[in-house]
Amino acid sequence: MSLNKEWKKIYKRSLAGINSDKIDPLEYKESLLNKINNHTENGMIGLLTGGTDCDGYRWLGYDIIKATLQSYNKWVKEFNRGLDGPAGFKIVVPSIAIERKKG
């Protein structure tokens, strides 16, 4: 066996575990749908948002969208498009999002 073939075997073995921790896309969609359904009120979900601007300005906000996977994916795409610093969001019941905004 040549050194090249032996090296390839070792390399393949070392990479074998890298993909083992990947999330199954169908499993991810199912857990996301469960989360959306658990936080639905009158067909809507709330999204608490927050982050830090590139200038160091901290911001908080909320959005209320339809409780569908399509609406959620569209919202996430738009949310990520306008970022210029670290930010995040959390799915909540709409009444909690409105309550946080008032407080």
Domain annotation covers residue 70: yes
Quote the number of domains for the chain. Answer: 1
CB 79 within 8 Å of CB 49 = yes
CB 72 within 8 Å of CB 40 = no
Domain annotation covers residue 18: no
Per-residue pLDDT for the chain (103 aa), expressed as one digit of tens each? 455 776 666 666 666 655 556 777 888 899 999 999 999 999 999 998 999 888 888 888 889 999 999 999 999 999 999 888 899 999 999 987 677 666 5
Check residue 43 and report its DSSP letter: T
Domain annotation covers residue 29: yes
Q: Which domain holds residue 65?
A: 23-102
